[in-house]
Amino acid sequence: MGDTRPSIALAAAPLAAAAGLPERWLTPAERERADAHGSGDARRRFVAGRLLVRELAAGLFDAPGGPGSLEVWTVCPWCGPGAHGRPELVADGAAVPVPLSYSRASGWLLVGVGPPGWRIGVDLADAASPAFAEEPGGNPLDDVAYAPRERALLEALEPGGRPLARARWWALKEALGKALGEGIAGPGGPPVVAGAGRHEALRDPRAVAEQVDAERVGLPAGLVAAAVLLPRD
């Protein structure tokens, strides 16, 4: 029998593609957050990201009312709707049943949606970021973000291959944290995603976890992406 696990629908675009999309799509809460960024690049990136999330998500699941009918809410399981938490799509005041996740990096946006009844997380990282660079004496991120077994795998790699491995694992950690609803600093710290002892959610035979082929979604070279789909139970 073939693999019957559900698939993750993904789309990516540069933030510049949001030019011309109307700010009237933003909710009052999003406008408030945008204004809190001031009037510079941080505000423009936030607004472009929120508008583009609607544009890409509407295409991924064929929203009947188009992107302008969608709102993006963030809902924390402890605090309720607000400025942080899991993103949710709302149309005409009702929650859209497809799970949503998105990530920004280096001027690009990645959006993923899954089937109803599942939890999703996607993340985008730039392998050229100084955060992942190989440094004399070791990368300071290694002791914080990677478990001993992951660090051992890094040490076994040629130094030139370590930045890419760090970025790929970081993206997978972030994607898993989003799908779990805990973030990367959950109760057990950054989840283990490589080697023996991977996080128990990744060992669930129903889980879908993938390092996304950048070319498949049109991302430029150097950006790496990961997506995780978990059963809601």
Q: For residue 182, what pLDDT is reported?
A: 82
Q: Are strands 108-113 and 100-105 parallel, antiparallel or unpaired?
A: antiparallel
**Where in the chain are the domains?**
9-231
Q: For residue 79, what pLDDT is reported?
A: 65
Beta bridge partners of residue 124, listed in sequence order: 225
Q: Are strands 94-95 and 118-126 parallel, antiparallel or unpaired?
A: unpaired
| CB 111 within 8 Å of CB 11 | yes
Q: For residue 80, what pLDDT is reported?
A: 60
Q: What is the pLDDT along the chain (233 residues), one digit of tens a residue?
A: 456 678 899 999 999 999 999 999 999 989 999 999 988 999 999 999 999 999 999 999 988 889 999 999 887 766 666 666 789 999 988 889 999 999 999 999 999 999 999 999 999 999 999 999 998 887 898 999 999 999 999 999 999 999 999 999 999 999 999 999 888 877 778 999 998 889 999 999 999 999 998 888 999 999 999 999 999 87
**Confidence (pTM):** 0.92
User: What is the C-alpha to C-alpha distance for residues 210 and 208, in angstroms, rounded to an integer?
Assistant: 7
CA 50 to chain centre: 14
User: What is the C-alpha to C-alpha distance for residues 142 and 124, in angstroms, rounded to an integer?
Assistant: 19
User: What is the C-alpha to C-alpha distance for residues 191 and 10, in angstroms, rounded to an integer?
Assistant: 23
| CB 48 within 8 Å of CB 15 | yes
Written in H, E and C, the secondary structure of 62-98 is CCCCCHHHEEEEEEECCCEEECCCEEEEEECCEECCC
CATH class of the structural domain 9-231:
alpha beta
